Amino acid sequence: MSLTVAVVTAGLSQPSSTRILADLLADAVKAQVSARGESVKIEIIELRDLAQDLATTMVTGGLPTPKVAAAREILATADGLVAVTPVFTASYSGLFKMFFDILDPDTLRNVPTIVAATAGTPRHSLVLEHALRPLFAYLHALTMPTGVFAATDDFGDGAEGSGLAGRVRQAASELTTQMMQAGNAVAGFVQSDSDLTRRVSGNSLGATPDFATLLKGHAGTL
pTM of the complete model? 0.84
Domains and CATH numbers, the chain: 2-214 (3.40.50.360)
Quote the CA–CA distance of 148 and 169 in Å, as a whole number. Answer: 10
pLDDT single digits (tens) 80-132? 999 999 999 999 999 999 999 999 999 999 999 999 999 999 999 999 999 99
Strand segments (E) across the chain: 2-9, 39-46, 80-88, 91-92, 112-119, 142-143, 148-151
DSSP state of 92: E
Mark out the alpha helices in 4-122 (DSSP H runs).
17-35, 51-59, 66-77, 94-101
Dihedral pair phi/psi, residue 159, rounded to 5°: -60, -30
Q: Is the peptide bond before 15 cis (omega within 30 degrees of 0)?
A: yes
Enumerate long-range contacts of 88-97, CB under 8 Å, 24 or more apart.
Answer: 90/124, 90/127, 90/131, 91/127, 91/131, 92/10, 92/117, 92/127, 92/131, 92/132, 92/135, 93/10, 93/12, 95/10, 95/12, 95/47, 95/48, 95/51, 95/54, 96/8, 96/10, 96/47, 97/135
Q: What is the pLDDT of residue 188?
A: 42
Q: What is the pLDDT of residue 187?
A: 42
DSSP state of 131: I
Pick the closest to residue 82 from 123, 120, 112, 125 (CA basis).
Answer: 112
Range of lowest pLDDT (27-36, 121-130, 151-160, 165-174): 151-160
DSSP state of 215: T
CA 163, 167, 172, 173 dihedral sign is positive
Confidence label for 207 from pLDDT (cuts 50, 70 and 90):
low
pLDDT single digits (tens) 166-187? 999 999 999 999 999 987 654 4
Quote the CA–CA distance of 195 and 198 in Å, as a whole number. Answer: 6
